[in-house]
Chain A
Amino acid sequence: MPQVIEPVDATGVAAALSQSSADGRGVIVRGAGTKFSPPPSDVILSTARMTEGVDHVAGDLVATLPAGISLDAANDILRREGQWLPLDPPRSHHATIGGIVATNDSGPRRHRYGGPRDLIIGIEIALVDGRVAKAGGRVVKNVAGYDLSKLMCGSHGTLAVVTRATFKLSPVAPFSRTLVATGSDVRRLSTLALTIANAPPLAPTAIELQSPPHGLLVRFETTEAAAAAQVKIAAGLCEQFGATPHVVFGQAESDAWRAHEARVFGTPGVVLKIAVLPTDVGDMLAIIERLSSAAAVVCELSGRAALGILLLKISGDHSAYSSIVAELRREASARGGSAVILSAGSGDPMTTVDRWGPLGDAQPLMQAVKARFDPQHLLNAGLTPWD
């Protein structure tokens, strides 16, 4: 059984890492465990008790958050001052700040606000040699030194352990409306998504495709008058594309977004993130349709259509998974994109399949960075191809 260590602060994390280094023991870094787990190792270093010390300076629109706090808990505190960290990754009531940074995870509002790497302005990390280091700061504008905070975003805990992070925040919009458009042709809906994204009178915070049944969710979070005006314009565009629009707000709006998240993340299955150019989304949708009808699998998808990001959940016949993933990866790669497995249920054959696909010509450089930060390869060993 691995030893579980739950430090309360950066010094505690650094001490635990230093001990593991001395003993040559591998360490799994764990937040709330909402993401893909590394293979078993000697020590589990959990950030569960690192939840204290939220430092919110509302006048500066910034906050420093401890690694172990959940995103929802952090945002409950920030909302008291009418602000929030505008990230909405899946399972945000559990997902921790440290885990969200480590996986650079985001959700539908990425369309407007970007992901963790776009919002982070400072970081504190504990290194395997027992040191604690920081980079960036508490001001949004700052070009002093290397931006290690961005390097940590998406590093999957393989370089160091994130102990605190500072973010720029956004004001909570006074008003929200979501336009739900349904249509019979999902490719046409993806074109509609791009049209809405490119229309200067519109500034949606999220544009999400879903299928099946085919739909587009477009969220407007602004003043009441502006939301009403933009919903009207967007509804007109929907009709031009043969889609049927209706507007939801209040509880119905929350329910629509909850159901949207659950479509991919609510039930077991392999979740694949496919990234291509926005104009190639239509092609990928057609390929997905072809593959799912050819095999005995169920494909459900959501995604940031205007950004070129699709999330695909595959369930059903396990034996067909790996060929479908390989085919989608090949098609995405041919378009300059990628297909990465985000999650797989325990026992799925996908747990043994290459999650990442090719890293390209920068792989040796990534491995060199990893070797400098963690020369003994103790952190989350076996999780990533830059190990």
Chain B
Amino acid sequence: MPSSAAYNSLFIPVDESFLTELSRIVGRDGMIRDQSDLLTYESDALVHLRSTPGAVVLPKSTEEVQAVVRLCRRSAVPFVARGNGTGLSGGALPVKDGILIGLSRMNRILKIDIPNLRAVVEPGVTNLSITREVAPFGCYYAPDPSSQVVCSIGGNIAENSGGAHCLKYGFTVHHVLGVEAVLPDGELVHLGGAVLDKPGLDLLGVLVGSEGTLAIVTKATVRLLRRAEKVMLLLAGFPSIDAAGEAVSSIIAGGIVPAAVEMMDRLTIEAAEAAVHPNFPKTDAVLIVELDGPASEVDELFAEVERICQTCGATTIEVAHDQAQRDRIWKGRKAAFAAMGRVSPNYYVQDGVVPRTRLPEVLRRIRDLESRSGLRIGNVFHAGDGNLHPLICYDEAIPGQAEHAEKVAAEILSYCVEAGGAITGEHGVGVDKKGYMPKMFAADDLDTMQLVRCAFDPTGICNPGKVFPTPRLCGEVPGPYREHPVERAGLAERF
């Protein structure tokens, strides 16, 4: 398999005339070339992968994005779109010497239509700002990734972001109704829209979650939801992960679909306690269960959830009686990642999914791995949908331990795949996990996905080197065969 570096080196490096033209499009204040300023854009939140772009542009309009992309296409220069850089899989890692298109200046909320529960936003708008804007009308935007204060809607669309409440409410793909997008040849398309059921192929369904490899979204129409009449939340302590897991299974088996079910183990409880003092019980596991909906339904089902927790051996149950209490409990959960810094100098965040019924078995394997590897592993996860976030603690000052942690993280992914799960539930494949894709998908599966890529981006300049383990060239359809330089160099197969 060719390395990304070898693949990237086959793109034409940017030259001065290209850069001059680029600055004409976005203006001098819309372009960054200074090496020290470029450092900011060398990585996303997966900071150990870095690459310096030839230039960063910060367009302010769809027209500027189109012009930049057209120029890149004409000059065979690869480009990568970037939101606010909170991605955890290197999806916005620049191509060395390519162009990074930062969308943070396109950050306007263009329209709010409360009667139809729609909002039209630019890609740089942050996730939480939509909710803030519509809250006075009793509405909110449902996907709530942990980074929602800073992450952008454009990035959410690229990664099909979820959050703690996607068990009941779904992912970004269920809440984005339409987009305006710039294709890799600079053409503008409108997929979906404010009205449902636009005739034609559901290209929006495949664009969402394509990790910026198909197009650059320049506007999005999102669905808003009405705030539920009632929200109830409890925090239950359990003597073991297994007991907490049993409670989750019983809730689901009881026909209850909570808005959120989150679980934390002893290590992450300790870390959260040290960081934000949520006053969680000092037990082996805590479960956070949130129910929302009409009061008539929530009251009845919540009593049932409480009963199930007691039956499954909960040692403590705290029912939140007001928003302040709910906020405190959620703060403890949402702080879990960052809080690991309190108990370990470094940690590696993994993201894998297992079928809920296989959770106990996979968690046992992780515990065995913990004792074998000598590295502490904290577990915090979206228990309702089997999305695990093991936090592997290490000390980079100890030679070899960072690499060891990475291997441990990789082994956990293989447990997920063996249990019938997925290598990523919400962080994306990006560069980080593309090498694991063959664990989950056969070559024919990946080739079929690349058919879509070839239709959108036949020249392969839109965020190349991401998602797929093997770069592919797209035979033009129709047209005579021409050998591509990448192919001649033996670095990619024609598809």
Contacts and interface: CB of A to CB of B under 8 A. Distances in A.
B203 A146 contact: no
Contacts of B454: 372
A173 B257 CA distance: 11
B294 A118 contact: no
A170 B189 contact: no
B183 interface: yes
A131 B357 contact: no
B49 interface: no
B201 A141 contact: no
A286 interface: no
A1 B190 CA distance: 41
Given A362-B191, A366-B200, A226 B205 contact: no
B444 A144 contact: no
A139 B229 contact: no
Contacts of B335: none
B429 A147 contact: no
B386 interface: yes
Given A133-B447, A143-B160, A150-B205, A200 B228 contact: yes
B297 A203 contact: yes
B441 A145 contact: yes
Interface stretch (B1-9, B248-256, B340-348): B248-256
Given A59-B252, A200-B138, A371-B477, A144 B423 contact: yes
A45 interface: no
B203 A369 contact: yes
B116 A154 contact: no
Given A137-B421, A201-B296, A372-B454, A151 B203 contact: yes
B312 interface: no
Interface stretch (A71-79, A243-251, A254-262, A334-342): A334-342
B452 A372 contact: yes
A365 B189 CA distance: 8
Contact of A363 (B200, B293, B437): B200
Nearest to A204: B294
Interface residues of A, number: 88
Contacts of B422: 137, 139, 141-144
Which of B189, B201, B441 is most buried by chain A, counting CB atoms within 10 A of its CB? B201
Given A142-B353, A143-B426, A146-B210, 17 more contacts: A118-B170, A138-B421, A139-B385, A140-B385, A153-B205, A154-B202, A170-B257, A226-B294, A276-B195, A279-B115, A307-B196, A308-B195, A340-B199, A360-B198, A365-B456, A369-B452, A372-B455
Interface of A: 57-62, 82, 104, 114, 117-118, 125, 127, 131-135, 137-148, 150-151, 153-155, 159-160, 170-174, 194, 198, 200-203, 222-223, 225-226, 229-230, 273, 275-279, 307-309, 335-338, 340, 356-366, 368-373, 375, 385-386
24 contacts: A57-B357, A133-B445, A138-B420, A139-B386, A141-B382, A144-B441, A145-B440, A145-B445, A145-B446, A147-B205, A147-B209, A150-B202, A153-B205, A155-B201, A200-B228, A226-B294, A279-B116, A308-B195, A337-B195, A360-B189, A361-B189, A362-B189, A365-B189, A365-B456
